[in-house]
Structure 1
């Protein structure tokens, strides 16, 4: 009678071990805790104006007019939500009429599946990042390039930037804001 128990307990132990190892593997994949200790710094310059080309040889030269410069339309300081976050955000219209969201001096935690969102929701403090951008419209401007530094995110041409009032560093995997900034019009 004792032999039957040993036969049952060994497959049960192996089954429990397989489930535990699988669960740990899935948990590590899902949470990616090592990213909390990995910083990725990105330093991008604000996209500049393309220098005008010289007139063809023999053509009368007109006095060069100053090239249009990028113009900041709105900006704000990042506040912390789920993770300590600092830096500033600017909504910039470039000389060609396109728009970028610029993160400057960003400092936040790294994490799985971080995105930059342009939203129409107000920035709420004190909610630890949960349920702060659940309502309203947003545009994902792409994956966060780095959790530190200064970087640019182009707005799609069909997006009207005046409809949006805030920017969030958003963790798409867990639906939580790491930090956000209200965009005050300048």
Structure 2
């Protein structure tokens, strides 16, 4: 009995090289697009500077009695403040917790200078501020309240604290990257 050369069975058909190349290029473009959207690296070279004045109490029409016995104007009062330290990105500036003349509270960032990034937020937290990489991810472990998106990565800016939030329950502030759960910089708030 002689053995004949029989063709081996293949389990699939071979995909032509041009189709594989096109498919690989499409997948690479898709991955690049998703990566660019997710990381937004161009923001590292873009700065947004904001210069807001400290808010004041709304003015009202003086009454006859108020005109006869004027009250001295009430000024904003700094309750607590701290110096921002760097975490994931170099960050400097001052954070101040301020009570306004109308009794409302605001968080003020002065001389802020940090990197721009995707989905940056300003948080009041009860977490202790730690130096170095040990402090990068601690701020979502405890109690925190988001005061909104970071208005700009440079300058002076104000963030209203909601009326139902007790500011004395929070001991620190962080510039928080919500997309990657990491602090760009933070400050311990100490009584002024």
Same fold? TM cut 0.5: yes
Tell me by how many angstroms 1:50 deviates: 2.9
Tell me by how many angstroms 1:30 deviates: 0.4
* Higher CA-based Rg: 2
- Give the equivalent residue in structure 2 for 1:148: 154
Structure-2 separation of matches of 1:137 and 1:13: 51
1:92 aligns with 2:63: no
Q: Which ranges of structure 1 fall in alignment gaps of 5 or more residues?
A: none
Aligned length: 180
- Give the equivalent residue in structure 2 for 1:40: 48
Deviations 1:127-166 (A, max 9, x none): 1753232411100000000000000001111101111000
- Give the equivalent residue in structure 2 for 1:53: 61
Question: Which aligned runs of 4 or more in structure 1 are off by greater than 3 angstroms?
Answer: none
Question: Aligned-pair RMSD on alpha carbons?
Answer: 1.7
State the secondary structure of the residue aligned to 1:19.
helix
1:23 aligns with 2:31: yes
1:11 aligns with 2:4: no
Contact 1:170 1:177 in 2 (8 A): yes
For residues 68-147 of structure 1, the aligned pairs below 5 Å read 68-127=74-133, 130-147=136-153
1:167 aligns with 2:170: no
Structure-1 separation of matches of 2:121 and 2:170: 16
State the secondary structure of the residue aligned to 1:127.
helix
Tell me by how many angstroms 1:88 deviates: 0.1
Contact 1:49 1:67 in 2 (8 A): no
Q: Which of 173, 177, 183 is matched with 1:177 structurally?
A: 183
State the secondary structure of the residue aligned to 2:31.
helix
TM-score between the two structures when normalised by the length of structure 1: 0.91
Tell me by how many angstroms 1:69 deviates: 1.4
